[in-house]
């Protein structure tokens, strides 16, 4: 897990060209897996890739 790449909500929002709040809602709806570290969420690269491939964002 140390070598895994993680994204912040802001980074995912920029990559998908959506609002921060949209990504946050996907996390809350359990469409996108994220890990809460302190007060921030982090999205694992593998989970993000799976999310895109499954087209859960549509």
Q: How confident is the model at residue 9 (pLDDT cuts 50, 70, 90)?
A: very high
- Helical packing angle, 9-16 and 20-28, nearest 10°: 110
Tens of pLDDT, residues 11-56: 999 999 999 999 999 999 999 999 999 999 999 999 999 999 987 6
Provide the residue ranges of all domains of the chain, joining segments of one domain with +. 6-53
Report which of 24, 40, 19, 7 is spatially closest to residue 32, judged by C-alpha positions: 24
Entry pTM: 0.85
């Amino acid at each position: 897990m140390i070598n895994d790449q993680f994204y912040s909500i802001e980074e995912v929002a920029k990559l998908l060209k959506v609002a921060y709040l949209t990504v946050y809602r996907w996390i809350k709806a359990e469409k996108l897996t994220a890990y809460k570290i302190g007060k921030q969420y982090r999205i694992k690269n593998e989970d993000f890739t799976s999310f895109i491939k499954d087209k859960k964002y549509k």
